[in-house]
Amino acid sequence: MKVIQYTPEKLQTALVSNSEYLTKVYSKYTKEEKRLLEEGFHAGQPGSLFQLITVHSDSDWILAHPEEPEDFEAFYRKPYRKTPNESQSTIYIQTIGSFGEVAAQTDQYVEWLRDYCQAFFYGLSVKLLPAVAVSETKCSFRVNSNSYNLQILTGDLLQFLKKRKPKDAFCIVGITMIDLYPKDSWNFVFGQASLTEGMGVFSFARYDDNFYKRSYAGRLKKHLQPRQEDYSVFDGYYTPPITSTLLLRSCKTMTHEIGHMFGISHCQWLSCVMQGSNHLDESDRRPLDFCPICLRKLQFAIGFNIAERYKALLHWMDEDQTQTSVKASASHTDPHFTKPTEAFHASKLWVCRCLEIMEKDQ
């Protein structure tokens, strides 16, 4: 295992910049906000809030895809970086295909994702577009010749999203429980985006713990080769059960990919949700939130209060049985599903520590 570690001086330059103007901008943070951001200079030390990146194999993203680390100044000077404005300040989420056998639970799951994005990108509006069936996208599809599961073509989905993108959208993201492929020569892809167009599509299919097992329920019979435009093959097609782990992985993927829409590159400074990942194990090692350098990038783009954002995230993780009981007693006809946040426990403790650091007296 390899550990990637930068000196405190290098991390300070990456966060603050050597630019006189950007240093002046940084000075406008409150002392509480600076205290949190500068915790990153002590990453890797006992009790550190932020952790170092660990590389476990040559197949990990950071070795397989060498990139120049992007500091705040490089982010600031990007010519194609998109920033929300008064006329384009809404993140739209488009669900594609079924998200579960129980419609009410599917709707609840997508609402949880929307609410999480609303807290994560604090200050922006996040809205759900009406769900669409795969047939409505008119996309190409295939049966994977190795895993025998259904896959849909990302390029066609991006073209569909481009037509659906509202005028007030900062970006639009398509999400699906069906596996994806970008072209015939590729086995699969987790997702694909057009950052200049502000749109992307991502699949959660491979976040099912059983996906790589021969017993995976989404495997079709080997001889089945449905013809194009016969979308009936998607009717009743398997979708993974909604678990706490699936919700956690989905939240990570959505926020990582939407982060790219702001022009934030893959992080190579500290352990961060913006780290790239080549496989599920590597994705699971990523934390749920930003390192200080990427947090400053997002805060600069949106302009939120850092402490209020953490409080919003904590509220999302902390919605409890009291609220569930109130909703259940208010309606006996509409089922209410308790949000499965067990997998978020470590992240909740981490957010609490962030708030404690910002609120403690010096």
Residue with the larger pLDDT of the pair 328 and 102: 102
Cβ contact 292:358 at 8 Å: no
The 10s digit of each residue's pLDDT in 8-18 is 999 999 999 99
The 10s digit of each residue's pLDDT in 261-320 is 999 999 999 999 999 887 888 888 899 999 999 999 999 999 999 999 999 999 999 975
Question: What's the whole-number mean pLDDT along residues 9-31?
Answer: 97
What confidence category does residue 362 fall into, taking pLDDT thresholds of 50, 70 and 90?
A: low
In this structure, of 20-24, 137-141, 240-244, the range with the lowest mean pLDDT score is 240-244
pLDDT at 355 over 50: yes
Q: What is residue 244's predicted lDDT score, i.e. its pLDDT?
A: 93
By three-state DSSP, how is residue 130 classified? coil
What confidence category does residue 62 fall into, taking pLDDT thresholds of 50, 70 and 90?
A: confident
Question: What would the two tokens of residue 107 be?
Answer: 């709707």
DSSP per-residue letters across 93-129: EEEES---SSHHHHHHHHHHHHHHHHHHTTTSEEEEP
What confidence category does residue 103 fall into, taking pLDDT thresholds of 50, 70 and 90?
A: low
Residue with the larger pLDDT of the pair 326 and 194: 194
Cβ contact 271:289 at 8 Å: no
Give the whole-angstrom CA distance, residue 235 versus residue 134: 9
The percentage of residues in the chain with a pLDDT greater than 90, rounded to a whole number, is: 62
What confidence category does residue 101 fall into, taking pLDDT thresholds of 50, 70 and 90?
A: low
DSSP per-residue letters across 2-43: EEE---HHHHHHHHH-S-HHHHHHHTTS-HHHHHHHGGGGGT
Question: What would the two tokens of residue 360 be?
Answer: 């403690």
Q: Which residues are catalytic?
A: 257
Give the whole-angstrom CA distance, residue 324 versus residue 56: 41
In this structure, of 190-204, 229-243, 329-343, the range with the lowest mean pLDDT score is 329-343
pTM reported for the whole predicted model: 0.91
Q: What is residue 115's predicted lDDT score, i.e. its pLDDT?
A: 96
The 10s digit of each residue's pLDDT in 315-346 is 999 975 434 434 444 444 455 688 999 999 99
Closest CA to 179 of 239, 236, 136, 107: 239
Return mean pLDDT, the chain: 89
What confidence category does residue 34 fall into, taking pLDDT thresholds of 50, 70 and 90?
A: very high
Give the whole-angstrom CA distance, residue 187 versus residue 182: 9
How many CA atoms are closer than 13 Å to the CA of 328, on its beta-carbon side? 9
Cβ atoms within 10 Å, residue 217: 14
